[in-house]
Amino acid sequence: MAEMVKKATRESFALALVEAAKTNPNIVVLDADLAEATKTVLFKKAFPDRFVDCGISLGNMVGVAAGLAASGKIPFAASFAMFSAGRAFEQVRNSVGYPHLNVKIVGAHAGISVGEDGATHQCLEDIALMRSIPGMVVVNPADHYEMTAAVKALVEYEGPCYLRLGRLAVESVYHNDDNYHFELGKGITLREGNDITIVATGLMVGEAAKAADALQAEGISVRVIDIHTIKPIDRDILVKAAKETGLLVTVEEHNVIGGLGEAVCSVLCEEYPTRVIRMGMQDVFGHSGPAIGLLQEFGLCADNIAATVRKALHK
């Protein structure tokens, strides 16, 4: 029985990578002068000869990672999402995506929960950018246990991937890892329900679950789906939810343009047209402030998710 833990997924990522590297000598890590923040410093301490600090040179870091992958290594290239997905986009596209190399791009400090670092560092576009690269797998785990499982899966997966990490410590959604199964490209039904479906990713999965529990007490039956893999997305679980509940709300700590909401809509408009309400950053930038306060200000919290569901159902 696994206990509930409260941990930032950036830390869970580093701990899982250290464990994986103990039995896989091909794992190497690159960072761009942010190892303390991304927590890759834990890997550096454990395997100093397999860690490369590339300095503040993001494009170079991605190029080095591509070369290492071409020579048979499994490189994880980490920085803030604004830099690894944003500043280095051209190198990720052309040096990793185009040759379909086995590089894992890691974007830490994603979303507005970065908090006080402010709008320049609160990357709200990384999922959209990485989704647009052909063949790129995009993963956004919800908690400690899901991040641990995701790292293991990405080590085994052959091909380019983007892994999103959070700065804010969050309570685990999955308390019993004996019953938890992670598979790339397969969503998880966290709560069963028939009135409406909430589809969430990353940090918002926990908030969606809290909202569903509160609504259940009011007699509203809410299905909650955790989409940890945004690309390739689980089409079957979404179509099933649309057919059985008829109304979906998507929740993401990302711009609603290009993120989870649009990924869900692209599936349903092709396979089973259904009303979808997209919650997230509504084509705006964030600003500096405490993480929890910002999430509440922009409506990315359980209370506002519940209010959105009530309004959608006119209850």
Tokens of 252: 């993401």
The radius of gyration computed from the CA coordinates of the chain, to the nearest angstrom, equals 19
Q: What is the mean pLDDT of residues 97-118?
A: 97
What confidence tier does 134 reach under pLDDT thresholds 50, 70, 90?
very high
**pLDDT of 178:** 62
Query: What is the chain's mean pLDDT, rounded?
Result: 96
Query: Which percentage of the chain shows pLDDT scores above 70?
Result: 98
**pLDDT of 3:** 77
> Angle at CA 130, nearest 5°, toward 30 and 29?
10
What single letter denotes the amino acid at residue 174?
Y
Evaluate the CA torsion angle 185, 190, 195, 200 in order and state its sign. negative
What confidence tier does 179 reach under pLDDT thresholds 50, 70, 90?
confident
Q: Which residues, in sequence order, are CB contacts of 40 under 8 Å at separation 6+? A: 14, 17, 29, 31, 51, 76, 78
DSSP class per residue in 147-194: HHHHHHHHHHS-S-EEEE--SS-EE-S---TTS----TT--EEEE--S
Evaluate the CA torsion angle 262, 255, 146, 73 in order and state its sign. positive
pTM (2 decimals)? 0.96
- In this predicted structure, the answer to whether residue 161 has a pLDDT above a threshold of 70 is yes
**pLDDT of 2:** 59
* Backbone phi, psi, residue 107, to 5°: -115, 100
Tokens of 273: 């047209």
* Residue pLDDT, tens place only, 2-52: 578 899 999 999 999 999 999 999 999 999 999 999 999 999 999 999 999
Please, what are the domains in the chain? 6-171 (3.40.50.970), 188-313 (3.40.50.920)
Let me know if 250 is exposed, middle or buried by CB neighbors in 10 A (0-12, 13-18, 19+).
buried
Residue 141, preceding bond cis, omega within 30 degrees?
no
**pLDDT of 4:** 82
| CA distance linking residue 125 with residue 233, whole number of Å | 18
**pLDDT of 27:** 98
* Residue pLDDT, tens place only, 207-245: 999 999 999 999 999 999 999 999 999 999 999 999 999
Evaluate the CA torsion angle 277, 106, 206, 124 in order and state its sign. negative
**pLDDT of 5:** 87
CA atoms within 13 A on the CB side of 195: 16
| CA distance linking residue 251 with residue 264, whole number of Å | 11
- In this predicted structure, the answer to whether residue 271 has a pLDDT above a threshold of 90 is yes
What confidence tier does 53 reach under pLDDT thresholds 50, 70, 90?
very high
- In this predicted structure, the answer to whether residue 315 has a pLDDT above a threshold of 80 is no
| CA distance linking residue 18 with residue 24, whole number of Å | 10
